Amino acid sequence: MPEPIEVRFSCIGDSSIGKTVLLYAYFHDMYGPESEYDESLGFSTDLTLNGTKFLLYGQDSDASVTNEILRSDLYEKVDVILLCFSIIDEKSFLNIETRWIPEITKLAKDVPVVLVGTHGDYRVDPPEDTTLVSKEQAEELVTRLQLYKYLECCTKTKEGLSDIFNAAATAAHERMLTKGRSGRGRGGDGGSSCEIM
């Protein structure tokens, strides 16, 4: 029986856009006040996709942390990045291009990025006086910045969550198959070894 393929992710994006809630909803089936969350639980799970087993694990992040060492730790040996914005917060979408992609390019060049739109429930019932970020805008950004994929979710109902983590594992796996694991994260050189299966 082959060992599962380890896929390490980091969840990045502006503050208050739903990163932590998303992770607890998917990994622990919880949706509630942040005070109820238990950091010691961590974020890891087994996942099987088309017969391939993965051990998916990773970390949350805090946009207010600007310390360079702590920020670069977020990208250390990372296989895939979940880059999040809220569809009801245009600034968080603009920051994808102006703040987060430059940081990723610097610290985790060539690591696949899954763009995630949170607060998906507002697609059907938008708050008053709010212009939603459209799927077309997000998809245009994915094409222009050569990101892996755009996916939307609603953590309240868990809609779209599995697709996000399936895409993350698939994106990481595809990259491992072409570049090998030594290309992971910061400082990787995209070596040729491949430990898959």
Contact 57, 50 (CB under 8 A): no
Question: Could you say which of ligand GTP, Mg ion, none residue 189 binds, taking C-beta under 5 to 8 angstroms by partner kind?
Answer: none
**Nearest alpha carbon to residue 121 among 91, 86, 96:** 86
Question: Could you say which of ligand GTP, Mg ion, none residue 118 binds, taking C-beta under 5 to 8 angstroms by partner kind?
Answer: ligand GTP
Contact 53, 7 (CB under 8 A): no
Nearer to ligand GTP, 5 or 96 (CB): 96
CB of 24 to ligand GTP, least distance (A): 8
Question: Could you say which of ligand GTP, Mg ion, none residue 21 binds, taking C-beta under 5 to 8 angstroms by partner kind?
Answer: ligand GTP
Q: Quick one: which of 8, 10, 12, 20 contacts Mg ion (CB under 5 A)?
A: 20
133 token code pair? 């970020």
The phi, psi pair for 41, rounded to 5°, reads -65, -30
Nearer to ligand GTP, 74 or 176 (CB): 74
Contact 190, 183 (CB under 8 A): yes
Contact 111, 81 (CB under 8 A): yes
Please report, as ranges, the residues that interact with ligand GTP according to CB under 6 A: 15-21, 34, 62-63, 118-121, 154-156
Interface positions with Mg ion (CB under 5 A): 20
